[in-house]
């Protein structure tokens, strides 16, 4: 899984676009892996449903944490730019 784009710091609008495309790439990669896992599992000995659901929960949690981090970074940027603007007045 490519997570390099997830570790970048927030910046301009182009950086936000790259963050969302990176998140989309991560989601696409997860779906490809999930599909491959389902396609190639042994029908006689399938994956434990609890383990399967656990993987889905972990991915969902990771996705939510990434969204929270992006929101916090955006809020920090906005508060920093607001502080700079108020100091200039």
Q: Residue 75 has what pLDDT?
A: 93
Number of domains in the chain: 1
CB 5 within 8 A of CB 16: no
Q: Residue 2 has what pLDDT?
A: 41
Per-residue pLDDT of 38-79, as tens digits, reads: 888 888 888 788 988 898 898 889 889 988 999 999 999 988
Between CA 55 and CA 77 the distance in angstroms is 33
Between CA 77 and CA 7 the distance in angstroms is 16
> What is the domain range of residue 53?
4-88
Q: Tell me 47's DSSP state.
A: P
Per-residue pLDDT of 1-31, as tens digits, reads: 444 444 444 444 455 566 667 777 877 888 8
Q: What is the pTM of this model?
A: 0.55
């Amino acid at each position: 899984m490519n997570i390099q784009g997830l570790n970048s710091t927030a910046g301009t609008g182009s950086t936000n676009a790259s963050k969302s495309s990176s998140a989309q790439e991560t989601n696409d990669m997860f779906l490809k892996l999930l599909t491959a896992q389902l396609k190639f599992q042994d029908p006689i000995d399938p994956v434990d449903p609890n383990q399967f659901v656990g993987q889905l929960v972990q991915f969902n949690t990771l996705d939510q944490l990434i969204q929270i981090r992006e929101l916090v970074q955006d809020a920090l940027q906005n508060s920093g730019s607001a502080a700079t603007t108020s100091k200039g007045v």
